[in-house]
Chain A
């Protein structure tokens, strides 16, 4: 028995020396710079965590600091718009612009008529003869606005000149201040600043009000007469469109008094409140930059664009993501699971620029061709002509959202205690009944938060929308129903990526982009907050 032979001597040694050895339990640690190794390691990890928090805080502060300066600038922007008289003249220009839209309507009717007759095989000369009365009438209608247009142009020149003079002065002032700061007094004094006399300019513009009234009255009389004498359109089927045109024309005429009243009410020196500057951003329906007339920074078209694309993406991604999660977790064999899970998760590893490229090169064109196929013409918005639109971008974003939704939803389903499943089976439920009635309801809040985080992923995505959404800055026409999905749109992320590189640092445009960034930031914050809150509720409910 070698082990028992060997063991007693050491035991005896310990027992003997134990009594002699001092009871040494004091802390002995090597120290670097007064810190123990443990403290160094703790400090390293703690420092990293702390730096992350600091950096996030800095980013937030920077974003808000840069962005919030937009509002005073926009306030000034709107003030000049009013003071220089652009606001005043815009009423007249508006009349002209709406008239132009009516003209386009007529041109559209004419084109349709022309095509219809060509299909019938009517010779060209005959078509021209038949359309002659309509063309004469259209021309008369078109010319009716000329006095208004002429006056609007004249007055517009005056107000733009005043605005430009003001802006030049502002630039001069900056230059002068720089010279003064640099101590170059002579140069500073050489800069001559002539303050723009907005009052005088306003008086001139106001003086033109009777002329504007006269022009508007003349135009409206001619238009009214024209509308009263609708021509007979050579293609009978299109006659109802002319009737509709008459309706639109009368609606248009009804805007005249309001426009003139707006001009009447204009006060060049009425101050613009901060609230107005804020509203102009949040509720502004136009995003127009580098315009000769007036720049508008309204987020609505970008926000609706982002929203539309995200909704399309979610409508596609939620069934796929959640369905795949349910399948993988509840139904699939382990082998399928091993195949499906990594595949879906791999999608998230594809760089979004590659997806965008795929969208431009293949998906956009494929969808467009598909939309021309007759069997699919019942789908809303099909067929369509724009290759790049909200639908193309939405499809690709769905691809980006699916891994997020799938992974998180799968986790949520997986976290449903096995006991629920067993209890359900023990009561004689089938697999499907168990899944639909027990597992999914129990995982529902987890699934909802998965969808929310998918939404967050999609709203923040930039490259795909920049490449594939069509980038037309306009509020999508939701009046068209579901076919709105085939319109090109622009997005909040896209506009930042597109314009940030070109703007002057510190300019109003630069700050407006930061404001868009803040809105994105807030959306992400809200989504994450909601998702966390829902998940927490879910944990409580399962107990």
Chain B
């Protein structure tokens, strides 16, 4: 793992090209390839030369102290940062299945259908549970009632929420508890069948029991989806991720199997952080 993260990286460095096979990429093969990424909020640089390969159908955790750029990087992956004025990728590229998502002919709308996102604070729409789940399909023009019904059940089962809400699908999503709301948001995300699900501190507003349910869910979901989770809780990263990336001051310090990061970190900063000496 490259943990030096110096500002000047020689461009001639050999590119770790992932296998070009696209659709049926084998489990664990590189799905997202981030190269030399510099990202700016206006004039302020937020990410410095990030290089990271995220494998398919695994859970990857981003950890690090507040303001280290982990959420920023996450939001680069589905171009949510486009919604903020003045943001820009000044250098480097992010490729998903070998397609540069910041390429000129990329439609961010299409990208976001493939790369879903779950937010820190649960944010169901002020609509019924049913409408919340079907929203993503409806905006794609799906009107077939049977199809929508199927997707609602499948997504809610997928998010382990079906049994709790099957009798009140047409009640407001805002009437659910915090943990249920967050699982509703996950159900809503998987309803459009993305390949990647980005989770931005999905449990930070939940109690321990609700958190456990979501973590259990993450275990189930990784069979079908590639999951990237930003978390402040190192225990959470340790519990549910396969590999972990540690960020500090906008730089990627260390990226390795989760076990190694927590048990045998190579970088002293990583060690200081995971052992609780700062952050």
Contact = CB atoms under 8 A, between A and B. Distances in A.
Interface stretch (B118-126, B231-239, B271-279): B118-126
B198 to A, nearest CB: 8
Contacts of A61: none
B144 interface: no
B174 A426 contact: no
Contact of A428 (B119, B123, B136): B136
Contact of A541 (B85, B109, B174, B188): B174
A441 interface: yes
Contacts of B192: 427-428
A11 interface: no
B206 to A, nearest CB: 16
Given A426-B117, A427-B188, A442-B126, A437 B139 contact: yes
A441 B135 CA distance: 13
Which has the most chain B C-beta neighbours within 10 Å: A421, A429, A433? A429
A436 to B, nearest CB: 10
A362 interface: no
Interface string B81-121: 00101000000000000000000000001101100110101
Interface in A427-454: 427-430, 433, 437-438, 441-442
A441 B126 contact: yes
Interface string B160-201: 000000000000101000000000010011001000000000
Interface in B127-183: 127, 135-136, 138-140, 172, 174
Contacts of A433: 139
B78 interface: yes
Which has the most chain B C-beta neighbours within 10 Å: A420, A428, A438? A428
Interface in A486-543: 541-543
Contacts of A426: 78, 80, 112, 116-117, 119, 189
A433 B192 CA distance: 16
Nearest to B82: A425
Contact of B135 (A417, A437, A541): A437
A57 interface: no
Nearest to B138: A437
B83 A425 contact: yes
Contact of B80 (A420, A422, A442): A422
B174 A429 contact: no
Contacts, number: 70
A245 to B, nearest CB: 58
Contacts of A239: none
B83 A422 contact: yes
B80 A427 contact: no
Contact of B109 (A334, A430, A442): A430
Contact of B119 (A419, A437, A441, A543): A419
A543 B112 contact: no
A103 interface: no
Interface residues of B, number: 28
B139 A543 contact: no
A429 B113 CA distance: 8
A132 interface: no
A417 to B, nearest CB: 7
Which has the most chain B C-beta neighbours within 10 Å: A417, A424, A542? A424
Nearest to B124: A423
Contact of B123 (A417, A437, A441, A541): A417
B174 A543 contact: yes
A425 B116 contact: no
A443 B119 CA distance: 22
A428 B112 contact: yes
Contacts of B80: 422, 425-426
A518 B185 CA distance: 52
B139 A429 contact: yes
Contact of A422 (B123, B136, B139, B189): B123
Interface in A395-427: 417, 419-427
B125 A423 contact: yes
Contacts of B112: 425-428
A422 B135 contact: no
Given A417-B123, A441-B126, A427 B83 contact: no
Nearest to B122: A419
A422 B118 CA distance: 10
Contacts of B116: 426-427
Given A425-B80, A426-B80, A420 B123 contact: yes
Nearest to A427: B136
A421 B174 CA distance: 16
A437 to B, nearest CB: 7
Contact of A419 (B110, B123, B127, B136): B123
Which has the most chain A C-beta neighbours within 10 Å: B110, B113, B135? B135
A534 to B, nearest CB: 15
Contacts of A437: 135, 138-139
Given A419-B119, A422-B119, A428 B83 contact: no
Interface string B51-92: 000000000000000000000000000101001010000000
Interface string B23-52: 000000000000000000000000000000
A428 B109 contact: yes
A42 B113 CA distance: 58
A535 to B, nearest CB: 15
Nearest to A428: B113
A423 B126 contact: no
Nearest to A436: B139
A442 B192 CA distance: 22
A425 B112 CA distance: 7
Nearest to B83: A425
Given A422-B117, A437-B135, A542-B126, 7 more contacts: A334-B85, A420-B125, A422-B80, A427-B113, A427-B116, A427-B188, A437-B138
25 contacts: A419-B123, A420-B123, A420-B125, A420-B126, A422-B80, A422-B83, A422-B119, A423-B185, A423-B188, A424-B125, A424-B135, A426-B116, A426-B117, A426-B119, A426-B189, A427-B188, A427-B189, A427-B192, A428-B109, A428-B113, A429-B109, A433-B139, A437-B135, A441-B127, A543-B174
Closest 5 CB pairs of A and B: A428-B113, A419-B123, A426-B117, A427-B136, A428-B112
Interface of B: 78, 80, 83, 85, 109-110, 112-113, 116-117, 119, 121, 123-127, 135-136, 138-140, 172, 174, 185, 188-189, 192
Interface of A: 334, 417, 419-430, 433, 437-438, 441-442, 541-543
